[in-house]
Homo-oligomer: A and B are copies of this chain.
Amino acid sequence: MTCGTHTKLAVLSSLLASSTLLAASPKTLGFFPSSRESEARFEAIMSATPTPERERKWLRWLTEEPHTAGTGQGKKTAEYVRDRLKEFGIVAELVPYEVFLNYPKQVSLRLLKPEPIELSLEERGDIRDKDSFSGDVFPGFHGYGASGKAAAQVIYVNYGTREDFEQLDGLGLSVVGKIALVRYGKVFRGLKVREAQERGAIGVIIFSDPADDGYMKGDVYPDGPMRPETALQRGSVQFLSEGPGDPTTPGWASVQGARRADATKLAGIPRIPSLPISYGEASKILKALAGQRVPEGWQGGLPFSYHVGPGPAEVEMSVTMDYAYRTIWNVIGTISGGVEKDRWVILGNHRDAWVYGAVDPNSGTASLLETARGLGEAMKAGWVPRRTLILASWDAEEYGLVGSTEWVEDHAAELSQKAVAYINLDSSVTGHALDAGGIPSLRDLFMGAAADVADVRTGKTVLDLWTQSEQSEWAKEAPVDLEHPQREFYPNLRLIGSGSDYTAFLDNLGIPALDFSFDGPYGVYHSVFDDITWMEKFGDPEYLYHVAASRLYGLLAMRLAGADLVPLRYVPYARRLQDDLDEIRRSAIIKRRMPRTPSSPAVKPPLDPDFTTVIESLRDFVTAAGELDDALDRVDSSGMADSGRLSRLNDSVARIEREFLDPAGLPRRPWFKHTIVAPGYTVGYGAWTFPGIVHALLDRDQAMFDAEAKKVAARLHAAASAARAAAALCGAP
């Protein structure tokens, strides 16, 4: 038996296992027998449309010049995308917002001691890549970074995570009055600055270590896809885990004339200056640090032993930002639904880039355009989706998901009522490996669509390869239970945190969201080398994976918008929550069994948490999810003649996610309303499942734990009730 067949059988069997009845084929999830044939026909038209030539054409145009949000070139790309959508037969318009954005007016960094050296914040293009040259490239700076000057000793704090700063405490060292030098990785860069600022640092320098995305991961550009010593990573330093979007309008939309928070006292962005640098430059500072040898795990890839400092290295940093209210441009395209016009399925990709953005994000923009062209072809052939499909091209994502967040806040009430799901595509391609994260109620839909997209390189489907890779990870990492060793692999979506435009949809409004990409070695993130030459040398020389992304995106859109019955399933969701809760419980146990160290007395002891109510409420949700999925499978295969009841059922199924919202929001971040998933408060990108509980365990705060556990239990019971109500609408078996 080949491994492909083997894996596919395993997948199917576990899909089947999610129900006590024979489930509908994942391919036709939500489609009644009477709709399947026409759906297949229109899908075939869409799938046949995207071509490598067109993918390249869009990418070439979009990435000719830097197009940071708020710039003239930024607007030109918006017009270009709008015009393409119109060409494809899709109604499209520009939707502007006035948002607070910064560009660098002046930035400089000097090593003062042991010897004065000017450190470069410019990225030079490479002579072997003419696309990496332009007169309009900003030097190294941080979106939403603070203006300011600082001159002080340097102290190295590894990745600048909370754990790293705590470990620094354990060494008897502090960043008070120092400039923290931290490396990129592990957590969102803004949270590195927040940790440093909260602990008294007066400036932060963030460098790209060769161990993380440089030569230790592969050959460096232009010989390979990884980061060369001159490349630096721009990016936002917003405190993303506290809330995305324009910091002058936290929780409401930046429409013209909107009320604004005092721009001199904004929450959620740094007060101390920060700068990104390359490892070529960082090495000059790091080499000049003495003091203690770094703790385990802090050594990077530069060829000398790292030391923590502080000093003798001293640096002077100077940052003057040009902050202003600037116009950003979302593009919103609409394909109106034929039956449930007031129900929306939203697709979104951002368009703004730190420089050329051939990967991030315009590989995704090219894919989105080819998807749109495919949908346009299907429309020409007579396709009308049941629900309205919205295609969004977001602006200013790089500053903090600004375009999408402002749009969501602008249409919050309508979205709460109308939205069925949001499918995000940021960078679509850096390689061959399909990666998918999202709300697991979308798992079966995702797997069904991925089963219908070929991996041209191998002749398998992208689902086969995804499943095999997930199974390898699972095999290596999942705990082994000697009493029940035969536990089966259950492919699932990992939950998503933040770092792209699904955030406002999912975390603020409770709209199920999915995000995917084809991944490979990629070290030029947010540098000038993220250009079309990189893509054509390394990422996707033949644009085959751009095409695969367009097809997958299109299938997801057509099935979500076209299905008679909303194609969500809740057993995968319940299983994901069970697995994640087990993991949280395991990690709480591990914390408690660590011996207390000499520095421990100052630290609160880990909690001995009681998970009973959460376990019981999750059990309730598990049971209800099973009942609902069975009922939905029955409706899928038998159809439902009563269209009014079907609409009510669709609303019930789509809105179960909303039950997880709590109007008061999460501890220390009220904008985040989802009690089941959120970006980790100290992580930013990565998700925390049961975020209030995890936050309480991290802070060792018993009162917070009790409150959050109670809240989670209530929301799980509510979702279980909603699922039972939906199941009841399906009728008796």
Given A476-B590, A482-B585, check contact A305 B595 (CB 8 Å). Answer: no
Say whether A3 contacts B595, CB under 8 Å: yes
> What residue in chain B is nearest A215 (Cβ atoms)?
B305
User: Are A479 and B479 in contact, CB atoms less than 8 angstroms apart?
Assistant: yes
Is residue A471 within 8 Å, beta carbon to beta carbon, of the partner chain? yes
Q: A303-B302, A480-B590, A485-B589 are in contact. Are A595 and B7 (CB under 8 A)?
A: yes
A224 at the interface (CB under 8 A from B): yes
Tell me the minimal C-beta distance from A575 to chain B in angstroms: 16
A296 to chain B, nearest CB (A): 9
> Which residues of B sit under 8 angstroms from A305, Cβ to Cβ?
215-220, 224, 226
Q: Hey, which chain B residues are within 8 Å of A589, CB to CB?
A: 480, 482, 485
Q: Which positions 585-611 of chain A face chain B at CB distance < 8 Å?
A: 585-586, 589-590, 593-598, 600
Do the beta carbons of B218 and A293 come within 8 Å of each other? Answer: yes
Which of B216, B226, B600 makes the CB contact (< 8 A) with A3?
Answer: B600
Are B224 and A595 closer than 8 Å at their CB atoms?
no
- Roughly how many angstroms separate A215 CA and B304 CA in the complex, as a whole number? 5
A6 at the interface (CB under 8 A from B): yes
Docked pose: A669 CA to B148 CA in angstroms: 70
A475 touches B593 (CB 8 A): yes
Residue ID in chain B nearest A7 by CB atoms: B595
* In the complex, residue of chain B having the shortest beta-carbon distance to the beta carbon of A486: B589
- Which residues from B are CB-within-8-Å of A476? 590, 594
Residue of B nearest to A588 (CB): B485
- Using an 8 Å CB-CB cutoff, how does the interface string of A272-307 with B read, 1 for contact, 0 for none? 000000000000000000000100000101111100
A622 to B468, CA, bound (A): 41
Q: Please, which residue of chain B has its CB at the minimum distance from the CB of A216?
A: B299
A301 partner residues in chain B, CB cutoff 8 A:
301, 303
Cβ-defined partner of A472 (8 Å) among B293, B485, B586, B595: B595
In the assembled complex, the Cα of A305 lies from the Cα of B301 at a distance in Å of 11
How far, in Å, is A526 (CB) from chain B's closest CB? Answer: 21
Check B471 against A6 for contact (C-beta < 8 Å): no
CA distance A500 to B527 in the complex (A): 52
Q: How far is the CA of A467 from the CA of B595 in the complex (A)?
A: 9
Are A6 and B472 neighbours in the complex by a CB distance under 8 Å?
no
Cα-based distance from A593 to B480 in the complex (angstroms) = 10
Known: A6-B595, A471-B595. A303 touches B215 (CB 8 A): yes
Option from B3, B299, B593 in Cβ contact (under 8 Å) with A598: B3
Question: Is A87 in contact with chain B by the CB < 8 A criterion?
Answer: no
Q: Given A6-B596, A219-B293, A305-B226, is A590 in contact with B479 using a C-beta cutoff of 8 Å?
A: no
> Is A475 in contact with B590, judged by CB distance below 8 angstroms?
yes
Judging by beta carbons under 8 Å apart, are B595 and A468 in contact?
yes
Cβ-based interface call for A210 (8 A) = yes
Closest B residue to A460 using CB positions? B598
- One complex includes copies of this chain to the number of 2
- Chain B residues with Cβ below 8 Å from A303 are 210, 215, 301-303
Specify which chain B residues have a CB less than 8 angstroms from the CB of A53 in the assembled complex.
none
Given contacts A3-B597, A217-B299, are A480 and B293 in contact (CB under 8 A)? no
Within 8 A of B (CB), among A186-232: 210, 215-220, 224, 226
User: Within 8 Å of chain B (Cβ to Cβ): is A582?
Assistant: yes
A217 to B590, CA, bound (A): 27
Choose one: B215, B475, B593; the contact of A595 (CB below 8 Å): B475
When the two chains form their complex, are residues A594 and B475 in contact, meaning their CB atoms are under 8 A apart? yes
B-chain residues with CB within 8 Å of residue A480 when the two chains form the complex: 479, 586, 589-590
CB within 8 Å for A594 and B293 given contacts A303-B301, A482-B582, A589-B485: no
> When the two chains form their complex, are residues A596 and B485 in contact, meaning their CB atoms are under 8 A apart?
no
Q: Please, how many angstroms separate the alpha-carbon atoms of A52 and B474 in the complex?
A: 53
Residues of B within 8 A of A299 (CB): 216-217
The answer, yes or no, to whether A323 is at the interface (CB within 8 Å) is no
- Chain A 449-479 interface 0/1 with B at a Cβ cutoff of 8 Å (1 = within): 0000000000000000001100110111001
| Residues of B contacting A219 in the complex (Cβ-Cβ under 8 angstroms) | 293, 305
Q: Mark A124-140, 1 if CB is under 8 A from B, else 0.
A: 00000000000000000
Does A489 lie at the interface of the complex (its beta carbon under 8 Å from any beta carbon of B)? yes
Least distance between A170 CB and chain B CB atoms (Å): 13
Residues of B within 8 A of A302 (CB): 303
Q: How far is the CA of A593 from the CA of B481 in the complex (A)?
A: 13
Nearest CB of chain B from residue A516's CB, rounded to whole Å: 21
**Across the two chains, which residue of chain B brings its CB closest to A283?**
B303
Give complex CA distance A303, B283 in Å.
12
Interface string of A1-25 (1 = CB under 8 A from B): 0010011000000000000000000
Residue from A301, A305, A468, A474 with most neighbouring chain B CB atoms (10 Å) = A305
CB distance B220 to A472 under 8 Å?
A: no
* Residues of chain B within 8 A of A596, CB atoms compared: 3, 6
* Given A6-B596, A301-B303, A474-B593, 18 further pairs, Cβ under 8 A: A3-B597, A7-B595, A210-B303, A215-B304, A216-B305, A217-B299, A217-B305, A218-B293, A219-B305, A224-B305, A467-B595, A468-B595, A471-B594, A479-B479, A479-B480, A480-B586, A480-B589, A485-B585
Q: Which 6 A-B pairs have the closest CB atoms?
A: A303-B303, A480-B586, A475-B593, A475-B594, A471-B595, A3-B596
Which residues of A are interface residues toward B (Cβ below 8 A)? Answer: 3, 6-7, 210, 215-220, 224, 226, 293, 299, 301-305, 467-468, 471-472, 474-476, 479-480, 482, 485, 489, 582, 585-586, 589-590, 593-598, 600
For this complex, 8 residue pairs linking A to B, each with C-beta atoms less than 8 Å apart, are A3-B598, A6-B595, A216-B299, A471-B594, A472-B594, A476-B590, A479-B479, A485-B585
